[in-house]
Homo-oligomer: A and B are copies of this chain.
Amino acid sequence: MVAIKDLLGETMIRTDGRKVDELRPVRITRHFTDVPEGSVLVECGNTRVMCTATFTAGVPRWRKDSGLGWVTAEYAMLPRATADRTDRESVRGKIGGRTHEISRLIGRCLRGVVDMKALGENQVQIDCDVLQADGGTRTASITGAYVALVDAMHWAEKHKHIRSAKRVIKDSVSAVSVGVIDGTPMLDLPYIEDSKAMTDMNVAMTGSGEFIEIQGTAEHRPFNRAELNALLDLAEKGNKELQAAQQSALAQD
């Protein structure tokens, strides 16, 4: 943490009053809807994403007779998740590049903590639908989808589709965004900060503190190794706290 403090200074305060290394308030609501095997509403500040996990016995054709399961994800925004209404991709008749990119990211992150052999030839489909967007929708999706996935695994264990939910879920996973704003590395960017970030990074980590996915982009100003390290430190801190929120949500029942 020493390195960050040096880079950030002690006194930096953000529009919403948070410190540079402070997460927005996180709320994770399980059983948000009744029907899915896992159904979670995750709220990170004003960002709200509904994450469902659908368990299906059997796998897609290309995966048949492998003895392995599969996990896939789809991400979408409701039209008025955003300040200006976004046209539906169903109406436009095609999925946009951003949607594709995020859906693939979520799928990879969850697969990164699933033991496909323990899952057996079963499939989990994750759906992340953004009800309200205020930055960090993709990272909130990952954080919420993990909880929905765990619930779906418990459902599957209870209904004898899998032997043990614990063996399927090798580790937990959460994700958070970090970025450099006006030269200062910051944790968990809302839309207003995100839009003026020079560098923007999404970091998904496991409960044991390793990386599943790092996506850093510097469209506006390249970043150096020192900044990268500061950002990764922030991301580690944020993910630890998100994982605490996940555990606490999963502890209730």
What per-residue 1/0 map shows which CB atoms of A202-228 lie under 8 Å from chain B? 000110111111111111101111001
Tell me if B90 and A95 are in contact (CB < 8 A).
Answer: yes
Is A48 engaged at the interface, CB distance under 8 Å to the other chain? Answer: yes
Binds B, one of A4-12, A14-22, A30-38, A181-189: A30-38
Minimum C-beta distance from A218 to chain B (A): 5
Tell me if B223 and A218 are in contact (CB < 8 A).
Answer: no
Is A54 engaged at the interface, CB distance under 8 Å to the other chain? Answer: yes
Is A168 engaged at the interface, CB distance under 8 Å to the other chain? Answer: no
Q: How far is the CA of A88 from the CA of B129 in the complex (A)?
A: 11
Q: How far is the CA of A205 from the CA of B129 in the complex (A)?
A: 32
Minimum C-beta distance from A79 to chain B (A): 5
Q: How many of chain A's residues have a CB under 8 angstroms from any CB in B?
A: 67
In the complex, what residues of B have CB within 8 A of residue A139's CB?
none
Central interface residue in A39, A56, A103, A210, by most chain B CB within 10 Å: A210
Binding site for B on A (CB under 8 A): 33-36, 39, 46, 48, 50, 52, 54, 56, 74, 76, 78-83, 85, 88-101, 103-104, 108, 111-112, 125, 127, 129, 131-132, 171, 201, 205-206, 208-220, 222-225, 228, 232
In the complex, what residues of B have CB within 8 A of residue A214's CB?
201, 214-216, 228
Tell me if B79 and A52 are in contact (CB < 8 A).
Answer: yes
In the complex, what residues of B have CB within 8 A of residue A95's CB?
90-91, 94, 97
List 28 interface pairs A-B (beta carbons < 8 Å), by A numbering: A33-B48, A33-B81, A33-B131, A33-B132, A34-B132, A35-B80, A35-B83, A35-B132, A36-B80, A50-B78, A54-B79, A74-B88, A74-B91, A78-B127, A78-B129, A79-B125, A85-B125, A88-B90, A89-B90, A90-B99, A96-B100, A97-B103, A201-B214, A210-B224, A211-B222, A213-B217, A225-B232, A228-B232
Contact partner of A80 among B89, B127, B232, CB < 8 A?
Answer: B127
In the complex, what residues of B have CB within 8 A of residue A80's CB?
33, 35-36, 39, 52, 54, 127
Contact partner of A54 among B36, B85, B131, B209, CB < 8 A?
Answer: B85
Q: Quick one: given A54-B80, A100-B100, are A211 and B219 in contact (CB under 8 Å)?
A: no
Tell me if B223 and A210 are in contact (CB < 8 A).
Answer: yes
Minimum C-beta distance from A96 to chain B (A): 8
